[in-house]
């Protein structure tokens, strides 16, 4: 018997073991993907069903309501364009939250960073427009918006990095302060003297972000898409992203590994808040053109459950932001047609948060029972 004949059965058995291992790995991969999909889609379906029950309790046909939402937010060409435009600032806020949450930092100050940046940009750009080229005005507005957002995060960042102060408390406090300060600026320092209603000066439509492909869709959508994809790739494919994930997973281990945790913490705050500030700039330069007193869309808090549903994944966040934008734009039309209050969309988001918590609890119990 030759050496080849002797070794063949061993090689065949090794091949079988290798094939079995690969099959088990593929099966485990698909189980993981199915679990992530279920945890992402399940709460959405549950929230829509519970919201339908609320509509029934209000005497409104939920099928008609959701039909109006889909027709206006997705099927109607002008509604779809409004949906895509709405996505721009939401995607930038999602990108900022992904950076913070993956690094284990709860930046809940997005609304303050967003609104304060929006007010500063709305006050500055109309003054620059008569003296500078349009592209330069837009560039200055975007940079200033990002800088204002980053600066507004300095205090919570330093307190977290060097004193260990809980950032949930400090960022929420800075949000309340930022929103109030923004309103004061609109009513006093930045008020347009030519209007009776307190608001900033208005940036002319011709000086705003260009539209895409002869539609009403603002190019802020492209800025948001580029930002969220870039953040996803940085956080998953680069050494900097790996460092941030290590800090978020285990800060003590990060310190023992020699990582500059305080500096990385400040960098995360600055990057997250800069993206929130950039979202405010995009909203003004692409859509609003000015800021009226007491205006606050609460975009940042609304985006938080969407980012959690996407499991901090950039591409998943795009999908959930699109779904929310359809619900938001379509809900405005559906509210008028069915007599439902305009804020019913926020009710759906609140129910979504509850369903997300329930889904996480059930998943944790399932995983604990499987051990």
Distance CA 308, CA 304 (A): 6
Number of C-beta neighbours around residue 272 at 10 A: 30
Give the Cα separation of 157 and 48 in Å (integer): 37
Q: Which stretches in the chain have pLDDT values below 70?
A: 1-11, 14-15, 25, 27-37, 370-371
| Domain spans, the chain | 82-301
| Residue 253: per-residue pLDDT | 82
Residue 202 near residue 186, CB atoms below 8 Å: no
| pTM (two decimals) | 0.88
Query: Do residues 234 and 314 make contact, with C-beta atoms less than 8 angstroms apart?
Result: no
* CB neighbour list of residue 8: distance below 8 Å, 6 or more residues apart: none
- Check residue 19 and give its pLDDT: 72
pLDDT of amino acid 34:
66
22-59 per-position pLDDT tens digit: 777 676 666 666 666 677 788 888 889 999 999 999 89
Task: Give pLDDT, residue 14.
Answer: 67
Joined tokens for residue 51 = 């919201």
Q: What is the pLDDT at residue 311?
A: 87
**C-alpha–C-alpha distance, residues 253 and 251, integer Å:** 5
- The whole-number pLDDT of residue 17 equals 73
* pLDDT for res 40: 73
Q: Write down the H helix ranges in the chain.
A: 3-57, 62-70, 77-102, 110-128, 134-151, 154-158, 167-187, 220-237, 239-249, 251-256, 261-283, 299-309, 314-338, 344-370
Q: Which of 37, 97, 35 is nearest to 306 (CA)?
A: 97
Bridge partners of 281, per DSSP, are: none
């Amino acid at each position: 018997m030759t050496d080849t004949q002797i070794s063949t059965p061993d090689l065949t058995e090794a091949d079988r073991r290798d094939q079995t291992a690969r099959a088990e790995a593929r099966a485990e991969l698909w189980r993981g993907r199915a679990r992530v999909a279920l945890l992402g889609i399940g709460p959405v379906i549950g929230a829509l069903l519970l919201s339908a029950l609320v509509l029934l309790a209000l005497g409104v046909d939920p099928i008609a309501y959701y039909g109006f939402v889909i027709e206006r937010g997705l099927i109607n060409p002008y509604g779809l364009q409004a949906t895509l435009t709405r996505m721009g600032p939401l995607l930038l806020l999602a990108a900022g939250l992904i950076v913070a949450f993956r690094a284990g930092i709860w930046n809940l100050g997005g609304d303050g960073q967003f609104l304060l940046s929006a007010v500063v940009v709305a006050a500055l750009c109309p003054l620059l427009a008569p003296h500078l080229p349009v592209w330069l005005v837009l560039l200055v507005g975007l940079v200033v918006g990002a800088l204002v957002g980053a600066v507004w995060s300095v205090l919570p960042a330093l307190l977290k990095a060097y004193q260990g102060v809980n950032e949930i408390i400090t960022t929420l406090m800075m949000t309340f302060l930022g929103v109030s300060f923004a309103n004061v600026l609109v009513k006093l320092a930045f008020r347009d003297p030519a209007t009776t209603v307190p608001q900033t000066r208005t940036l002319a439509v011709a000086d705003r972000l260009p539209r895409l492909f002869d539609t009403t869709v603002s190019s802020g959508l492209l800025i948001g898409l580029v930002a969220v994809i870039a953040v996803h790739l940085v956080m998953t494919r680069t050494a900097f992203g790996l460092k941030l994930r290590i800090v978020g997973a285990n800060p003590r281990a990060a310190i023992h590994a020699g990582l500059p945790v305080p500096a990385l913490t400040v960098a995360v705050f600055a990057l997250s808040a800069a993206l929130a500030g950039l979202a405010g700039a995009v909203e003004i330069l692409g859509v609003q053109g000015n800021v009226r007193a007491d205006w606050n869309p609460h975009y940042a808090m609304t985006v938080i459950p969407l980012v959690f549903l996407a499991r901090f994944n950039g591409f998943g966040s795009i999908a959930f932001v699109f779904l929310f934008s359809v619900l938001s734009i379509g809900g405005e039309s559906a509210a008028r047609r069915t007599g439902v209050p305009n804020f019913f969309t926020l009710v759906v988001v609140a129910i979504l948060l509850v369903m997300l918590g329930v889904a996480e609890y059930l998943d944790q119990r399932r995983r604990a029972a499987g051990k």
